[in-house]
Amino acid sequence: MMTFDVLQRRADYTPRNRALVDLATGREYTYAQVNARASAVAELLLERYGLEPGERVALLAQNCTEFVEILFGCAKAGLIVVPLNWRQPAPELQGILDDCRPKLVIYDAQFSPVMNELRHSADFKGIVLGAEPQGSDPCYETLLAKTSGNPVVMPERAVIDTWYILYTSGTTGKPKGVIQTYGMALFNHLNLPLELTSSDVTLNVLPFFHTGGINLLTMPTLLAGGTAMIMKSFDAEFALKLLSREVSGFFGVPAIYLMLSQHANFMYTDLSRVRVWACGGAPMPVSLLDSYADRGVHIRQGFGMTETGPTVFFMDMQNVRRKVGAVGKPMMFAAARVVDEQDNDLPPDEVGELLVRGPAVTPGYWRQPERTAEAFTRDGWLRTGDLAKVDQEGYYYIVDRSKDMYISGGENVYPAEVENLFYQHPAVLEVAVVGVPDPQWGEVGLAVVARKPGQEVPAEKLREFCNGKLARYKIPKHITFVQALPRNAAGKVIKSELRKQYTLQEA
């Protein structure tokens, strides 16, 4: 199966339609303009820099429209893009560069100090975005202005060809580069049941070095011919203004929805024009879903991973309230199973590991055949590492990550269940539960809680709140209070950091 230059096709069909809006700079581009700039990128990289198809181009920048034109420009040139996590320090980025070995790094001027560190042990050329030249590195805009202006059209490519590589947020061991193919982008678009059209305007706030930033909803919006508004970094007040005035589609992680709901303007913002509200990346607390439902906003939860393109499940609007906590059924081009430790299918409502298969699933990890083999069953199902269950009607529920589950006195405890109850307490702003060693029970729960401003509820009151609602072994034995939970750029709580950071004490 082949794929084509979808950006060039869009530029042919709707050349004057607005494609991208850079909210940080105010720049707007039509499809014809984005295609012309992507063509200039391809010409620049192939002719001036002499890059060969299959070589890597790394990109170190916060969300911007240049990211999108570079992504499509590299597609035209047959180059592989490696978006870098700008929140990582130089030593962590060094491991990624050692793994993917880019010939060129395009970076924002604000990251020049990091780039200077990386140059000590890596051999690559650099181009700087949006500024005067940094040292010997030329300016991106100046270079584009010197290109011929002739269109560059991507030749037909196989859907299994690599387009870009996304590195997972693991903190130990060798970085894993998840291969992203042209087909994964296509089938993720087909798997999204959001019915995006050329009339839609989406607000895109998730970082582009994650699959959610690119594929939820920037890429599907462009494939549909709509307008993607790009926010450099999340600003709740600005986002609320846009949601009330122009945006018709929004995807966020629970942390983003939490920040929106906490803003002083939330209760006074008209949210009725937004047609699509969607969430993923982590379980959405039921209390937060309820707070939005009270405003007439029904958020459709979904589930996916970097390895799955990402969309696997999405809730249908008709059952979003009846099936609170569900992530939906498998999408059109995805298959799923819940299995036991021997990979036998489990009956409804029993918890096991979630396996996934379909054309949006990655072929594997960049130059790591052993880890690729470990990630798949012999018959090609991806092991997600997530614990899930499916009910009698075929709706799936993500119970927790398998690595987050702990065993207390021989009983399985799923932290997500405990966290959901804590979120129902009026004093709790954020909570994360982890298992910690205990001499009597093997493991017990440690709840790390951030309280709402002005709330001083003690630990014992929180335990009392759990009585009668959770089995005794599920109630955290230890509770500690913090100002905020540590999160990665995708909005997920970094539980490994919590386990390392807190010395176990009786609360």
pLDDT tens per residue, range 352-396: 999 999 999 999 999 999 999 999 999 999 999 999 999 999 999
Residue 78 within a domain: yes
- What's the rounded Cα separation, in Å, for the pair 315 and 261? 21
- Give the alpha-carbon dihedral of 388, 212, 122, 108, to 10 degrees: -160
Residue 390 pairs with which residues in a beta bridge? 396
The torsion region of residue 145 among left (phi > 0), alpha (psi -120 to 50) and beta comes to alpha
Q: Please, what is the Cα angle at 464 between 459 and 470, to 5 degrees? A: 110
* Number of domains, the chain: 3
507 part of a folded domain: no
Same domain assignment for residues 269 and 360: yes
Same domain, 206 and 342: yes
Residue that is last in its domain, among 187, 212, 234: 187
The verdict on residue 506 lying in a domain is: no
220 with 234, same domain? yes
Do 378 and 426 lie in one domain? The reply is no
In a domain, 41, yes or no: yes
Last residue of a domain, one of 381, 401, 421: 401
Q: Closest Cα to residue 372, out of 157, 88, 174?
A: 174
Is there a single domain that holds both residue 435 and residue 460? yes
List pLDDT tens digits, range 148-187: 999 999 999 999 999 999 998 543 457 799 999 999 999 9
In which domain, by residue range, is 30 found? 2-187
**What pLDDT sits at residue 506?**
41
Instruction: Please report, for the domain that includes residue 110, its CATH number.
Output: 3.40.50.12780
CATH number at residue 476: 3.30.300.30
Query: Which pTM value belongs to this model?
Result: 0.87
Q: Any idea what the Cα angle at residue 489 is, between residues 485 and 495, rounded to 5°? A: 40
Do 312 and 216 contact (CB within 8 A), yes or no?
no
Please indicate, yes or no, if residue 251 is contained in any of the structural domains.
yes
Q: Does some domain include residue 253?
A: yes
**Integer Cα distance of 479 and 461 in angstroms:** 11
Per-position DSSP letters for 40-91, written without gaps between them: HHHHIIIIIS---TT-EEEEE-SS-HHHHHHHHHHHHHT-EEEE--TTS-HH
Q: Are residues 365 and 429 in the same domain?
A: no
Angle at 161 between CA 225 and CA 90, to 5 degrees: 90
Within a domain: residue 376?
Answer: yes
User: And the tokens for 361?
Assistant: 């699933």
27 with 131, same domain: the answer is yes
The whole-number pLDDT of residue 130 equals 78
User: What is the per-residue pLDDT for 507?
Assistant: 41
Same domain flag for 89 and 215: no
Looking at the structure, tell me whether residues 17 and 153 fall in a common domain.
yes
Instruction: Identify the pLDDT of residue 169.
Output: 58
| pLDDT in the model for residue 148 | 97
Are 293 and 261 spatial neighbours (Cβ–Cβ below 8 Å)?
A: no
Shared domain for 60 and 172, answered yes or no, is: yes
| Residue 16, phi then psi, degrees to nearest 5 | -95, -5
What does DSSP say about strands 396-401 and 382-390: parallel, antiparallel, or unpaired? antiparallel
Among 168, 187, 206, where does a domain finish?
A: 187
54 lies in some domain: yes
Question: Are residues 465 and 389 both part of a single domain?
Answer: no
pLDDT of amino acid 403: 79
Regions of the chain short of the pLDDT cut 50 = 170-172, 504-507
Q: Are residues 165 and 99 in the same domain?
A: yes
310: cis peptide before it, omega within 30°? Answer: yes
